[in-house]
């Protein structure tokens, strides 16, 4: 699967304006982000944790 995460500031545009620092990250990096800063994933957290657990990279829920 593919997960896109970004932080946006400023005025909403109808067309893109050259995103910065775009990169692919390893699944284990995503798992580390989820463990360290789960509040950054808000509504998507349950789905991401489920996927990570399903592929064996996740961590057990409390």
Whole-angstrom distance, CA of residue 13 vs CA of residue 43? 24
pTM assigned to the model: 0.64
Q: 6-38, pLDDT tens digit by residue?
A: 777 888 777 776 777 778 888 899 899 899 998
Domain spans in the chain, listed from the N-terminal domain onward: 1-62
Question: Could you give the C-alpha distances from 43 to 14, 39, 40, in angstroms and in order?
Answer: 24, 9, 9
Q: 35-59, pLDDT tens digit by residue?
A: 999 888 878 888 888 888 888 887 6
Contacts of 40 (CB under 8 A, 6+ apart): 5, 33
């Amino acid at each position: 699967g593919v997960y896109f995460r970004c932080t946006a500031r400023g005025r909403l545009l109808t067309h893109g304006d050259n995103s910065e620092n775009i990169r692919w990250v390893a699944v284990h990096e995503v798992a580390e982000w989820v463990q360290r800063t789960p509040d950054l994933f808000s509504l998507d957290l349950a789905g991401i944790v489920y996927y990570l657990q399903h592929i064996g990279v996740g961590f057990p829920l409390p």
